[in-house]
C-alpha cells in the first residue's frame, strides 16, 4: 500500500510500512550425477604440495621445487597466475579475453623500437639484446589474455632478431629464430622470408627456394617473396655456372 507524503534528504523515516522485506531465494544446486562423480573420483589423484611462507606459491612437498621432475609436478603457470592476482587485489576474477594489458603493450613496443633504431645504426649485437628483452616481455602477458596478442608481438620481435642475426652472419641463430616465427605464426610470410634468408646465407639454395615457396602458398602475390625467389634462383644459377667453369678449367 502506498502513502502520499515525502521525505526530504536527511529526514528520519521512523514509521513502518506494511510491506514485508523480500528474502533472497536460496539457489538450489542439482545433485551430482553419481556416474559422472564416480568417473571423476576414479581418475582423481591427489598431488602433495606445500606453500611458501607468504602462502602465494605452491611447491612440491618432497623437494620444495616449483617444477619437479621426480615428483612429476609443474606449478609454474599456477604460481604465475597467483602472483598476478596478488599484485592486483582489486581484480576479483580474470577480465574478458579481449582486454589486454596496455602497459605491457607499450613496453614491448618501446623496447622493439629501440632494437629497430640500433639495427638501423648497424649495432646488431645491441639490437639483438633489445629484441630478446621485448620477446621476454611479450610472453609475460597474463594467461587470461587472448593468445593472438602475444603471438603477434612475439613473432614480430623474433623476426627482427632473426634479421639482426643474419646481418651479424650468425646464420644458424637466424634460422632458429625464423623457425620459431613460423611455429608461432605459420601463415605470416615474413617468417618464411627470414628462413629463406638464413638458408641463403648458409648457401643452401634449394632449401631457401623451398622456404620461399611455402611462404608463397600463404601469400601468392607477395612481391617481396616473388622477387626474392627470383634472386635465389639467379644466384644459384650463377654459382652452378662458376662451379662448372672451375671444374672445366681443371680438366
**Per-residue pLDDT tens over the stretch 174-212:** 999 999 999 999 999 999 999 999 999 999 999 999 999
pLDDT at position 2 is 45
Q: Which stretches does DSSP call E strand in the chain?
A: 49-51, 58-60, 67-68, 73-74
Contacts of residue 135, defined as CB under 8 A and 6 or more positions apart, other chains included, come to 154, 157, 158, 161
**What size, in residues, is the chain?**
251
Distance between CA atoms of residues 209 and 206, nearest Å:
5
Within the chain, which residue ranges are assigned CATH 1.20.58? 94-168
Percentage with pLDDT > 90 across the chain: 51
Kindly report which listed range (96-100, 144-148, 225-229) carries the lowest average pLDDT score: 96-100
**Per-residue pLDDT tens over the stretch 30-50:** 777 888 877 777 777 788 889
> What fold characterizes domain 94-168?
Methane Monooxygenase Hydroxylase; Chain G, domain 1 (1.20.58)
Q: Kindly tell me if the per-residue pLDDT of 237 is higher than 90.
A: no
Distance between CA atoms of residues 61 and 45, nearest Å:
15
Backbone angles phi, psi at 51, to 5 degrees: -105, 150
Amino acid at each position: 500500500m502506498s502513502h502520499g507524503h515525502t521525505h526530504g534528504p536527511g529526514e528520519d523515516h521512523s514509521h513502518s510500512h506494511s510491506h514485508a522485506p523480500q528474502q533472497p531465494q536460496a539457489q538450489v544446486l542439482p545433485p551430482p550425477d553419481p556416474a559422472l562423480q564416480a568417473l571423476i573420483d576414479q581418475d582423481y589423484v591427489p598431488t602433495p604440495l606445500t606453500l611458501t611462507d607468504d602462502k602465494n606459491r605452491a611447491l612440491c612437498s618432497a623437494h620444495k621445487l616449483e617444477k619437479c621432475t621426480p615428483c612429476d609436478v609443474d606449478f609454474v603457470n599456477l604460481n604465475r597466475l597467483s602472483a598476478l592476482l596478488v599484485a592486483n587485489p582489486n581484480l576479483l576474477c580474470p577480465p574478458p579475453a579481449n582486454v589486454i594489458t596496455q602497459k605491457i603493450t607499450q613496453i614491448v613496443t618501446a623496447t622493439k623500437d629501440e632494437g629497430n633504431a640500433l639495427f638501423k645504426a648497424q649495432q646488431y649485437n645491441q639490437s639483438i639484446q633489445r629484441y630478446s628483452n621485448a620477446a621476454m616481455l611479450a610472453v609475460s602477458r597474463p594467461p587470461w589474455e587472448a593468445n593472438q596478442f602475444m603471438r603477434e608481438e612475439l613473432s614480430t620481435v623474433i623476426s627482427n632478431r632473426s634479421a639482426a642475426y643474419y646481418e651479424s652472419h650468425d646464420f644458424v641463430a637466424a634460422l632458429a629464430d625464423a623457425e620459431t616465427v613460423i611455429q608461432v605464426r605459420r601463415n605470416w610470410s615474413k617468417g618464411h622470408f627470414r628462413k629463406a634468408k638464413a638458408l641463403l646465407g648458409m648457401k643452401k639454395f634449394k632449401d631457401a627456394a623451398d622456404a620461399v615457396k611455402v611462404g608463397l602458398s600463404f601469400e601468392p602475390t607477395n612481391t617481396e617473396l616473388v622477387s626474392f625467389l627470383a634472386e635465389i634462383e639467379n644466384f644459384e644459377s650463377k654459382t652452378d655456372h662458376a662451379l662448372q667453369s672451375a671444374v672445366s678449367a681443371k680438366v
